[in-house]
Amino acid sequence: MSVLLEVRGLEVAFRAGPPLARRRFKAVAGVDFDVGRGETFALVGESGSGKTTLARAVNGLQPISAGSVAFDGLRIDGLGGAAMKPVRRAMSMMFQDPVGSLSPRMTVGDLVTEPFRIHRVDADPEAETARLLSLVGLDAAFADRFPHQLSGGQARRVGVARAIALNPRLIIADEPTAGLDVSVQGEVLNLLNELRERMGLAMVIITHNLHVIRHVADRMAVMYLGRFVETGPSAEIFAAPAHPYTAALLSANPEPDPDRARDRISLPAEAPSPMARPDGCEFHTRCPWAAAKCGTEAPAAVGGDRRAACHFPLGAGARPPAKESTI
């Protein structure tokens, strides 16, 4: 599998704070990853982890402050609008809000054919609308509807139809199941899986929902404060998380089973702000296993395909040391 997207040392910095004391901070603080052709790569993290900023930076919507992004062998970071335009044909992006990412005064037909107009592709709009709507499982009658007349699931399908309109090689999907009912989430994931196989698409899926990843991603990265704390094949990570944060995330997704034993890794306190990063391992302030070394020395992520930035990676079935549970 050859590499389609190559991200190296990517950093995104913002300035924030009161007007006279603006400080620079890194929302994304140096990440490296590759996405192969036809591969699905998942970025997992909680709010503030920088996952959406990372996706926008890869897509060129957000200027980067260091590092490089290469798509299909071509450096695309820092490309201007005109030079970036052909890249955007091959790399489409889906945004979080299913309805909010559709222009409210345009009909579904206009929305799904907009990519053709933007890139001046000669196509019969009506035929393309019908083709795309049927690909995403919507009736052709939807072409005349406006976004506010769609349910979340239908709007998401329209978003998918726009994303695949010009046969891209990569789709970046930010929380593709956010705001959807459980029974509809499955539909959207099935649709993405199906299209991926049919069109040989590579995907980057950004989500906080681990259950989603389990069913769609080949490889995944767990983000914390703008860095990857663990990367690797998703099946391996689900079977035996090596980083305590990954383990905590995995245990924090309650399953609909009232009899299941609830041994959960609860994390004390809330995540620190990227404006005030802790010393040493940045997770040590919340880590149930933290030792003295963790507070002083930053761990490096070592290894090949499977990496965890932790001084004391967990073995299979690791339990947290006994400690009273706090928020």
Partner 1 sequence: MSAAGSDLPGAGRLPTSARLLRSVRRVAREPLGALGLVLVAAMIGGAVFADILTAFEPNRISPRDRFLGPSFGHLLGTDQLGRDLFSRVLHGGRIALSVALLSTAVSLAIGVALGLVAGYGPRWLDNLMLLLFDSIKSFPTVMLALALVTLFGPSLTAVVVVVVLVNVPGYARIVRTRTLSIKESEFVDAARSMGAGTARILRTHVTPNVIGPLLILASMDIPVVIAIEAGMSFLGLGVRPPTPSWGAILNDGFAAIRDTPWIAVAGGLPIILTTLGFTFLGETLRDVFDPRLKGRG
Partner 2 sequence: MTVLAIKGLNVSFSTGDGDLRALRDVSLEVPARGIVGVVGESGCGKSTLINAVLGLLADNGRVDGGSILFEGRDLTRLAPAEMRALRGPGIATVFQDPMGALNPVLSIGRQMRDIQYRSPLGRSEKDARSAEFLRRVRIPDAEAALARHPHEFSGGMKQRVAIAMALMMEPSLLIADEPTTALDATLEVATIDLLKELQEQIGCSVLFISHHLGVVAELCDDVVVMYAGEVVERGSARQVFNTPRHPYSALLLECDPARRPERARRLPTIPGSVPDPRRRPEGCVFAGRCPRRVDACRAPQGERAMEPGHMARCHLAEAG
Binding residues for partner 2, per CB under 8 A?
Answer: 46-47, 151-152, 181-187, 189-190, 193, 208-212, 214-215, 235, 248-249, 252-259, 262, 264, 266-267, 270, 325-327
Site string for partner 1, 180-219 (x = CB under 8 A): ----------------------------------------
Smaller CB separation from partner 1, 204 or 229 = 204
Smaller CB separation from partner 1, 143 or 212 = 143
Do 273 and 253 form a contact (C-beta atoms < 8 A)?
no
Do 138 and 145 form a contact (C-beta atoms < 8 A)?
no
Q: Tell whether residue 246 is a contact of partner 1 (CB under 8 A).
A: no
Candidates 20, 21, 105, 254; binder of partner 1 (CB under 8 A) is: 105
Q: Which does 189 bind (CB under 5 to 8 A by kind): partner 2, partner 1, none?
A: partner 2
Q: Tell whether residue 179 is a contact of partner 1 (CB under 8 A).
A: no
Q: How many residues does the chain have?
A: 327
Burial of 243 from C-beta contacts in 10 A (0-12 / 13-18 / 19+): buried
Residue 92, token pair as written in the block:
């489409």
Q: Which does 148 bind (CB under 5 to 8 A by kind): partner 2, partner 1, none?
A: none
CA atoms within 13 A on the CB side of 220: 26
Q: Tell whether residue 117 is a contact of partner 1 (CB under 8 A).
A: yes
CB of residue 92 vs partner 2: minimum separation in angstroms? Answer: 23
Smaller CB separation from partner 2, 2 or 326 = 326
Q: Which does 293 bind (CB under 5 to 8 A by kind): partner 2, partner 1, none?
A: none
Burial of 120 from C-beta contacts in 10 A (0-12 / 13-18 / 19+): exposed
Q: Considering only CA atoms, which of 4, 20, 31 is closest in space to residue 225?
A: 31
Smaller CB separation from partner 2, 36 or 186 = 186
Q: How far apart are CA 297 and CA 295, in angstroms?
A: 6
Q: How far apart are CA 62 and CA 96, in angstroms?
A: 16
Q: How far apart are CA 254 and CA 251, in angstroms?
A: 7
Burial of 122 from C-beta contacts in 10 A (0-12 / 13-18 / 19+): exposed
Do 168 and 136 form a contact (C-beta atoms < 8 A)?
no
CB of residue 285 vs partner 1: minimum separation in angstroms? Answer: 32
Site string for partner 1, 121-140 (x = CB under 8 A): ----xx--x-----------
Site string for partner 1, 33-72 (x = CB under 8 A): -----------------------x--x-x-----------
Kind of pairing, strands 40-44 and 219-224? parallel
